[in-house]
Every structure is written in C-alpha cells, then in structure tokens.
Structure 1
C-alpha cells in the first residue's frame, strides 16, 4: 500500500505543479513509471485509485487523462462516503448543513435571476395541500438543491448535495411524528423564497438558519 500511496503522491504533485493540467493525457505507462521511479504495478494501482475519485479518466484503447478537476466532479465521491454514516452521526451532518446552507441561501439571494426565483417558487407550489411525508421530503430535497445551485458556487452546491442523504431519514421521521411539521416546512420555505426574491441575503440567511436549526433541535429532543 505504501508504494501505491507514493505513486499517488507523485501523480498528484505533477498535477499540482502544473506538469499535468486538466484534460492532459498522461505519458505511456512504461515512460511514466520510469520517469517517476515507480514500478508499473504501483503506477497502475495509483491510476486506478485516482480514477475512482475522478482525478483521472482511463479511456480504454486511448489512454489516461486528467479530468476537468471541476469541484462538482471531484466532490462526487463525498455522497458515497457519507452513505456510511451511523444514525448517531446525523446530528453532526445537520450541524454542517446549518453552517453551509444559510451561506448558500445568502449567495442565492444575491445571484439568482428572476426566472430562477420563479422556478424555485414553482417547486414550492407543486406541493399539494395535504402531501404525503414522502412527497414533502422529495420536494424539500429539490427545493434545497435548487437554492444551492442558485448560489453559483459549484463546490458549495456539491457539498450540500452530498450531505443531503444522511439527513433524509430524520426529515421523514420528523414529518411522521411532529405535529404541524408540514405546515411549518411550507411556511419557512416560502419565507426563504420571499427573501431571495426580494434580494435580501441576510434575511434569506436567517430564514435558512431557522429552518435547518428547527430540524436539528427537534432531532436533539427526539434522541
């Protein structure tokens, strides 16, 4: 494993130093192994590992390339990693959401266009008067994903999207057990939309904080 780690570090250094850039093709395996002082087997394992986390793209019959290295691509593996969470770590994910989502909502209030805000309102309006818990949670996920995208920050959007999965069960549980959860969620979502539409970033940040903190506080008491 140590030799593979060394190979990964050396390829990483080539990318960080600019010797290899996004979209560049790596030298042939034998040439690169000799250049880096590695065995071909160690290099092969390093390439395999880096392709899994979307740093490299192995194209059969063509070669191995550095990917675009865009934040959304590199953070794809986050959702895979957080799927291994235990139930007792859900509060930690909610704490992270409470830090990130209000910031994304404030950015969205500055950056979302009128058509984007109108689309966000339509997402909220699609929720019927008496939705099932499953429909509420699905709508909630779509709503927050649209706001994160509206922040205009691909890295922030990917982080928030990756953190959504572990908190889904908590949202369902709350919807099933807390009286008035559906109406409260709907009211807070509308307040967030109104703040974004008005171009009021700090108001939008405040409502997003209240919204996330409400789920977090409910879960603390439930546990």
Structure 2
C-alpha cells in the first residue's frame, strides 16, 4: 500500500471508530503524524485527498475539520464524475435510475404527507396540457426530487439527485423530438401521484418503473 493510501486509511479509521466525529478539528499536524506513525508529508497528501471528496474541510489559518459527512456533501464528488459522461453511457445512468427510483417511490408511498401530494398535484395542474418543454423538464426534476425526499432515505435521495443531470438532458431531447412525450410524462406523473395518495407502494413502484423505462427505451432507439 502506498504511503499516502496508508495515511488515508488511518484517518478514515479514526472517523469510522468515532475517534474523530463530524465537526471535530484534527490535532496539530505534527502531533497527528506522530500518533499515526506517518511522515508529515504523507499526512498532508492524505488530508488533501480527503478534502477533495468532502471528508475533511481545510480552513486556512484555522485548522482542518471533519465535515458533516452528510450524504449530499459526500456525493458531490460522484456528481462531478457524472457530469463528464455525456455519450451513450447516459443509458447506463437511466438503467440505474430504473433500479433505484421505483424503490424510492414505493418507500414514499408509506411516508409522503397529503400536503406534499397536494403541492405536487398543483404543480402539475399549473403546467397545463401543453407546457413549454423547459418548464416541463424543470417540473419533472422537482417532481422526482420531492418524491425521493419523501422516501425518508437521504442516501437514496442524494444518489437519485446525482443521476438527474445527464438524464435531464435526455428528457429535454425527448420532449423536443418525440410526439406526445409531454402528454405521456404528465399522465405518468399523475398515475404515480394517484398511487402515492392511495398509499399503494407496489402500484407506485410499477408506474415509476414504466415512467423511467419509457425514456430509456426511447433513448436506446435513437442513439
């Protein structure tokens, strides 16, 4: 194992065991290096690497702190990677969404509040029958984000939010080129909402699967 990798593992071990908790300030560099049996240079490299993935927060003139370690923060690095995939790999992102999102929708069916369902339904009504494609896609992103949040699982919600960027571009393309895409999207959204309001996880899961699969199948046919 490379020296820097060893240093990263030792710091990670301190966080996992609770020796360092979210918000804690790391000991002085010289003291921490001595405690871990590391050179100060390898410790610096480890700190730099962990700061890039939002595990540590280096504050100039103040010190180095463990971040909140909240899923949205830690998954920012994944979002950065996702943004580089603009080719046919978008189909792979859609395939992952098709696995994860129906599960989130099913979970939301047992957690979502009536008021949230009403808000989502009002947003759909506001779009009308023939919405502008930019407004439709923005509404689509918000629709899925709020339902994922209603699942009560912050990690699942963050993963789905990360996957939304490349698939959003596909949805814009579909809306501009496929006849009836907007009407179909709105109809499927209403079916998902009906299942959520009925507190029926399996019907909600089925409609979410159909909804995402329709985008995936269309994109596969045009690429």
**TM-score (ref. length: structure 2):** 0.95
Mapped partners of 2:122, 2:45: distance in 1: 48
Task: Kindly indicate whether the alpha-carbon contact (under 8 Å) linking 1:10 and 1:36 is maintained by their aligned counterparts in 2.
Answer: yes
Q: How does 1:87-98 map to 2 (within 5 A)?
A: 87-98=87-98
What do the CA deviations read for 1:3-58 (whole angstroms, capped 9, x no partner)?
32221111111112222222222111110011112221221121122122111122
What do the CA deviations read for 1:186-208 (whole angstroms, capped 9, x no partner)?
00000111111111111110100
Say whether 1:79 aligns with 2:79: yes
Question: Which consecutive residues of structure 2, in runs of 5 or more, have no partner in the other structure?
Answer: none
Say whether 1:212 aligns with 2:212: yes
Aligned residues: 223
Task: Kindly indicate whether the alpha-carbon contact (under 8 Å) linking 2:98 and 2:209 is maintained by their aligned counterparts in 1.
Answer: yes
Compared CA separation, residues 45 and 126, structure 1 to 2 (3 A)? farther
Runs of 4+ in structure 1 displaced over 6 angstroms? none
Q: Secondary structure at the match of 1:204?
A: helix
Task: Kindly indicate whether the alpha-carbon contact (under 8 Å) linking 1:76 and 1:158 is maintained by their aligned counterparts in 2.
Answer: no
Mapped partners of 1:48, 1:120: distance in 2: 42
Task: Kindly indicate whether the alpha-carbon contact (under 8 Å) linking 2:130 and 2:183 is maintained by their aligned counterparts in 1.
Answer: no
What do the CA deviations read for 1:139-190 (whole angstroms, capped 9, x no partner)?
1111111111111110000000000111122111111111110100000000
1:70 corresponds to which residue? 70
1:159 corresponds to which residue? 159
Question: Which consecutive residues of structure 1, in runs of 5 or more, have no partner in the other structure?
Answer: none
Mapped partners of 1:158, 1:183: distance in 2: 28
Q: Secondary structure at the match of 2:22?
A: coil
What RMSD, in angstroms, separates the aligned Cα atoms of the two structures? 1.5
